[in-house]
Amino acid sequence: MNSSNNGAIMHRGVAVVTGASAGLGRAIARAFGNNGYDVALLARGLEGLKGAKKEIEAMGRKAIYFEVDAADASAVEEAAAKTEEHLGPIDVWVNNAMNSVFSPIKEMEPIEYKRVTEVTYLGQVYGTLAALKRMQPRNKGKIVLVGSALAYRGIPLQSAYCGSKHAVEGFFDSLRTELLHDKSKVQATMVQLPAMNTTQFGFVKSRIPHKPRPMGKIYQPEVAAQAVLYAAEHDRREINVGWPTLQAIVGNKIAPWFADYVLAKNGYKGQQTDEPEDPSRKHNLWEPLPGDHGAHGLFGSQATNFSPQLWASLHRKEILSAAVAVGAIVLFGKWLKST
Torsion sign over Cα 144, 150, 153, 154: negative
Q: How far is CA 258 from CA 153, 248, 251, 262, 265, in A?
A: 12, 11, 9, 6, 11
pLDDT, one tens digit per residue, over 12-45 is 999 999 999 999 999 999 999 999 999 999 999 9
Catalytic residues: 161
Tell me which amino acid residue 211 is: K
- Cβ neighbors of 125 (< 8 A, separation 6 or more) are 171
Give the separation between CA 308 and CA 262, rounded to whole angstroms: 25
pLDDT, one tens digit per residue, over 105-159 is 999 999 999 999 999 999 999 999 999 999 999 999 999 999 999 999 999 999 9
Domains of the chain from N-terminus onward:
13-306 (3.40.50.720)
Do 29 and 20 contact (CB within 8 A), yes or no?
Answer: yes
**What is the number of alpha carbons within 13 Å of residue 289 lying toward its C-beta?**
18
| 324, pLDDT greater than 50 | yes
pLDDT, one tens digit per residue, over 56-86 is 999 999 999 999 999 999 999 999 999 999 9
Q: Give the predicted TM-score (pTM) of the model.
A: 0.94
